[in-house]
Structures are given as C-alpha cells and as structure tokens.
Amino acid sequence: MTLHVVGIGSDTGDDQVGWLVANRLGKRRRDVQTFSCRAPMELLGRLPLGAPLLIVDAVRSNRHPPGTVHQLQWPATNRLAAWGQPFTSHGLGLADALSLADQLRLLPSPTLVWGIEIPEPVASPDLSASVLAGVEALLQAVDRDFPTQTP
C-alpha cells in the first residue's frame, strides 16, 4: 500500500509545516509518495491520487495552543471550516478545494486532513519550537495509524 501525502504551504516560517511533514515522511518511509503545493486549488490539478491520501496544512483557529495536531476524515466540511478562515487567494481554501474534488469524484477514500496549529505568523524563515513539536507528534501519529507494511 502506498501512502500519498500532500503538504500545503510555503517555504518560510510556520507556514512550511505542511511541506516539512511531507518531506520528512517521504525520506523516512519507502511506501510514501509526496508532493507539495502552495495553494489548495493546486491540489485539484494533481488528482486523482491513490488511497489513503493525507493532506497536511498549517491551521490558525486561535482556539488551540500552537503545535496542536488536528485530524479529520473527509467529508467533514463543517469541522474543517471550524479550523478558521482560509488564508488563500480568492477565498478558495482547502475546504473549497476538497468539496469541489469530492463533487467531481476525484477524492480517494480515505482522505484525511491533518493540521498543525501555528501561532501568529511572524517574519522568520524558521519554524517555531511549538510547531516543531507538533510535527514530531504528527509523524508519530501517521506511523501509528498507517504502519509500514513488510512484504
């Protein structure tokens, strides 16, 4: 079984958390295929992908401490919306991209969305310590929920 992991974000600050998780999973597991994109709508151009599909993105809900790991299984539009307003162009966020992909029957099952709560964005190239701790927790959770299968 191949695990498909998509990191959403950018290359700076805490917004890079989705890319970092995808990158680390790709390096530590041979059964993982990854790609990274900057905007959720970019994901649509890469679908369909096999299952399971894991999507990792930064979250700013302001209701949980930085580093908190969120997880939901699609469809869960309401819960995704509760994570906060999307920080993306044209207001087309991850929930919109996944809803459209679902409507077009492009989403595999299961599709899981993992988010890591980030603090108020600051001008820095680096991840904050709390978010790095969240990355570690998320990597362990992926290994626990999707253990590498030996032939």
First vs last C-alpha separation in the chain:
10
Q: Give the C-alpha separation, 148 to 151, whole Å.
A: 10
Nearer to other proteins, 44 or 137 (CB): 44
Instruction: Compute the least distance from the CB of residue 106 to other proteins, in Å.
Output: 9
Of 72, 92, 133, 139, which lies in the binding site for other proteins, with binding defined by CB under 8 A? 92
Nearer to other proteins, 90 or 144 (CB): 90
Please, are residues 88 and 8 in contact by the beta-carbon 8 Å criterion?
A: no
Listed residue (98, 86, 104, 81) closest to 42, CA to CA: 98
Listed residue (1, 36, 22) closest to 146, CA to CA: 1
Please, are residues 36 and 49 in contact by the beta-carbon 8 Å criterion?
A: no
| By the rule CB under 8 A, 90 interacts with other proteins | yes
Residues within window 9-68 making contact with other proteins, judged by CB under 8 A = 37-39, 41-42, 44-45
Residues within window 116-145 making contact with other proteins, judged by CB under 8 A = none
Residues found near other proteins in the complex (CB under 8 A): 37-39, 41-42, 44-45, 89-92, 96, 99-100, 103-105
